[in-house]
């Protein structure tokens, strides 16, 4: 490695390499940066105001959920360690990382541009400049790792499999992409999938691609859920009456901004006149423009934002410029509190929201895989598609029993409250697959 960034990160890179070599559970993902937290994890000094580059909360939160499951109460690099090579991209390649995020953010904020993103998905995923940039630090970090490596992103899974590493390739969605099949016939790779339907799809698509795979190398584990999210429902009664606690969330790139703005424009005026109806928490993630949009709307309606820890405040905002801290805000303040989440049906938010005992109202999906997630949760009876232009009316209908014994919201929360074994055991099942890999 050469031409990196600063002495503290140089030290962290060397220690991450050592810790990944010696840990019982090596985890690699591709989600963005959390450089300032990396510095602190390696006894350096981080800057809380430096913004991260973020592509995906899901690929970060799922990797962290695996690590937390292995760690228990305290971080322990001997038990498990996670790395993201994006943290260690060289100065010369840094513009590629910035460009990838900038393009993603632009598309995420403007629904009319989504067609461009779909074209990239179909024709250019393997040629994006970020892959060339993350390869040198990824290969340096994993060069001497001899244990099977849990990979939470197909790009890093395929790069490591091509190096002859034993890889546990986790499909984070109930959906099989072409790049998931690159090493389907490689005996050094095992696959963890969402459910039996995903396994069947994997086998079928492998066959159509002319690749032979042993079905025993495809393990149905369910998704990764942070154990702290699973514990959240113990603090949350099912809603029957009183203020409905709603959490509106964006994604890692700031997705659904237009829909979030439309929904807030309907909810904030009624919160001024009928404050007893709703309590609102808005998760802006690491996106300053969404956080500012929320502040502007709240100010326009002459309301006041409470601090994240002020649970009696009718409106709160969760925002931090860094990925790890933003994720911790969600885990600490959103999942134990919210009756329902208004969010795109992504693998992180949909899984986590339902695992915490909440209902879902889904915003526009980011891709076909999120459409699949929406369908699955609608079939389970815990999700409905949000109608942003008529959101207040929709919410009133879902809150009303309409002559029945229960409202849709109460039924959905009662369905979500018992922990589905698919969610409860996913992280531990992946750890077990890794430890048993021959």
> What would the two tokens of residue 53 be?
């580059």
> What would the two tokens of residue 77 be?
């690099």
DSSP state for residue 306 in the 8-state scheme? B
pLDDT tens-digit map of 291-313 = 999 999 999 999 999 999 999 99
Q: What is the pLDDT of residue 125?
A: 45
Q: What is the pLDDT of residue 252?
A: 86
List of residues 6+ apart from 234 with CB closer than 8 A: none
Question: CA-CA distance, 52 to 337, in Å (whole number)?
Answer: 27
Question: CA-CA distance, 264 to 248, in Å (whole number)?
Answer: 9
Half-sphere exposure of 61 (CA within 13 A, CB side): 31
Strand 218-220 and strand 81-83: pairing?
unpaired
Question: CA-CA distance, 173 to 52, in Å (whole number)?
Answer: 24
Q: What is the pLDDT of residue 347?
A: 83
Q: In what order do the strands lie in the sheet with 81-83?
A: 81-83, 26-28, 149-151, 167-170, 189-193, 218-220
Nearest in space to 264 (alpha carbons), one of 249, 285, 251: 249
Q: CA separation (Å) from 205 to 209, 210, 412?
A: 6, 9, 34
Question: CA-CA distance, 172 to 65, in Å (whole number)?
Answer: 13
DSSP state for residue 389 in the 8-state scheme? G
Using left for φ > 0, alpha for ψ between -120 and 50, and beta otherwise, residue 383 falls in beta
Q: What is the pLDDT of residue 84?
A: 98
Beta bridge partners of 317: 282
Q: CA separation (Å) from 75 to 12, 38, 80, 230?
A: 16, 13, 8, 19
Nearest in space to 235 (alpha carbons), one of 141, 339, 330: 339
DSSP state for residue 54 in the 8-state scheme? B
- Helices 257-273 and 94-109, axial angle in degrees (round to 10): 50
- Stretches in the chain below the pLDDT threshold 50: 1-2, 119-126
Contact call for residues 168 and 430 (beta carbons, < 8 A) = yes
In the chain, the domains with their CATH numbers are 7-172 (no CATH), 228-420 (3.40.50.2000)
- Whose tokens are 């113990």? That residue is 234
This model's pTM is above 0.85: yes
7 SS3 class:
helix
Sign of CA dihedral 122, 211, 204, 176: negative
Q: What is the pLDDT of residue 5?
A: 63
> What would the two tokens of residue 7 be?
């002495």
Contact call for residues 287 and 254 (beta carbons, < 8 A) = yes
Nearest in space to 285 (alpha carbons), one of 331, 322, 319, 308: 319
> What would the two tokens of residue 79 be?
């038990």
Beta bridge partners of 43: none
Q: What is the pLDDT of residue 123?
A: 38
Q: What is the pLDDT of residue 405?
A: 87
Q: What is the pLDDT of residue 2?
A: 47
Question: CA-CA distance, 8 to 59, in Å (whole number)?
Answer: 25
Beta bridge partners of 150: 27, 168
Widest CA span of the chain, in angstroms?
69
- Whose tokens are 């603090």? That residue is 235
Nearest in space to 59 (alpha carbons), one of 30, 88, 87, 27: 30
318 SS3 class:
strand
Contact call for residues 238 and 410 (beta carbons, < 8 A) = yes
Contact call for residues 330 and 318 (beta carbons, < 8 A) = yes
Strand blocks (E) in 306-398: 315-319, 340-343, 359-362, 383-385
Q: In what order do the strands lie in the sheet with 315-319?
A: 315-319, 278-285, 244-249, 340-343, 359-362, 383-385
Q: CA separation (Å) from 140 to 76, 85, 143, 150, 237?
A: 22, 9, 5, 17, 48
């Amino acid at each position: 490695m050469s031409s990196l960034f600063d002495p503290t990160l140089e030290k962290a890179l060397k220690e991450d390499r050592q810790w990944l070599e010696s840990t019982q559970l090596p985890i690699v993902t591709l989600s963005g940066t959390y450089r300032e937290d990396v510095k602190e994890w390696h006894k350096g000094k981080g800057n809380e105001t430096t913004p991260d580059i973020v592509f995906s909360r899901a690929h970060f939160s799922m990797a962290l959920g695996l690590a937390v499951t292995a760690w228990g109460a305290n971080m322990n690099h001997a038990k498990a360690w996670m790395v993201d090579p994006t943290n260690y991209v060289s100065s010369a390649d840094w513009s590629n990382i910035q460009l990838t995020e900038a393009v993603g953010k632009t598309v995420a904020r403007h629904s009319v541009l989504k067609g461009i993103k779909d074209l990239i998905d179909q024709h250019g995923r393997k040629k994006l400049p970020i892959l060339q940039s993350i390869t040198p630090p990824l290969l340096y970090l994993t060069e001497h790792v001899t244990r099977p490596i849990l990979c939470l992103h197909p790009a890093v899974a395929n790069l490591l499999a091509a190096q002859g590493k034993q890889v546990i390739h986790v499909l984070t969605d109930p959906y099989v992409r072409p790049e998931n099949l690159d090493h389907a016939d490689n005996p050094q790779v095992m696959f963890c999938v969402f459910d039996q339907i995903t396994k069947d799809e994997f086998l079928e698509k492998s066959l159509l691609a002319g690749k032979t795979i042993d079905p025993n190398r495809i393990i149905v584990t369910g998704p990764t859920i942070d154990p702290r999210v699973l514990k959240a429902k113990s603090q949350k009664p099912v809603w029957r009456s009183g203020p409905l606690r709603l959490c509106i969330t964006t994604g890692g790139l700031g997705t659904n901004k237009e829909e979030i703005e439309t929904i807030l424009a309907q909810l904030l005026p009624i919160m001024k006149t009928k404050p007893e109806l709703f309590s609102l928490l808005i998760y802006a993630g690491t996106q300053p423009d969404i956080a500012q949009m929320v502040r502007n709307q709240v100010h326009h309606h002459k309301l006041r934002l409470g601090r994240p820890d002020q649970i009696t405040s009718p409106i709160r905002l969760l925002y931090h410029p860094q990925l790890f801290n933003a994720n911790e805000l969600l885990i600490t303040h959103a999942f134990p509190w919210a009756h329902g989440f208004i969010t795109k049906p992504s693998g992180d938010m949909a899984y986590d929201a339902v695992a915490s005992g909440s209902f879902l109202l889904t915003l526009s999906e980011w891709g076909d895989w999120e459409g699949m997630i929406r369908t699955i949760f609608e079939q389970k009876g815990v999700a409905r598609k949000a109608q942003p232009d008529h959101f207040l009316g929709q919410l009133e209908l879902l809150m009303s029993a309409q002559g029945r014994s229960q409202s849709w919201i109460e039924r959905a929360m009662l369905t979500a409250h018992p922990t589905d074994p698919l969610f409860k055991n996913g992280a531990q099942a992946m750890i077990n697959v890794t430890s048993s890999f021959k």
